[in-house]
Amino acid sequence: MGLHREYENQFFIDFEQEDGADLSHKKHIRQRLENRMEQRRLKEELEFFDGELDGEFDWHYVDK
């Protein structure tokens, strides 16, 4: 058994509409998380070369 068509359409319309501020906030948070994950990945790759850089790499530049 399903809902009447008029109620099904109402249900989907309510879900599809999002506040513009919420959407931009979600995009901003997603971008920050992706950047942080990329920094961690790069840091792990560079730690593989332990000692080869001999302190030449500035981690503060990566953390910005």
The answer as to whether 37 is a domain residue is yes
The pLDDT of residue 15: 54
Residue 64 lies in a domain: yes
Domain count, the chain: 1
What would the two tokens of residue 3 be?
A: 């809902």
Residue 44: is its pLDDT beyond 70?
yes
* Residue 64 to residue 62: CA distance in whole angstroms: 6
Cα–Cα distance between 26 and 6 in angstroms, integer? 31
- The conformation of residue 53, written as its DSSP 8-state character, comes to S
Report yes or no on 10 lying in a domain: no
Give the DSSP letter of residue 51: T
* Burial class for 40, CB neighbours closer than 10 Å (0-12, 13-18, 19+): exposed
Position 42 in a domain: yes
Q: What is the pLDDT of residue 20?
A: 76
For residue 29, what are the domain limits? 24-48+56-64
Structure confidence by residue, pLDDT tens digits, 13-38: 555 566 778 888 999 999 999 999 99
Query: Does 29 or 7 have the greater pLDDT score?
Result: 29
Let me know if residue 9 belongs to a domain: no
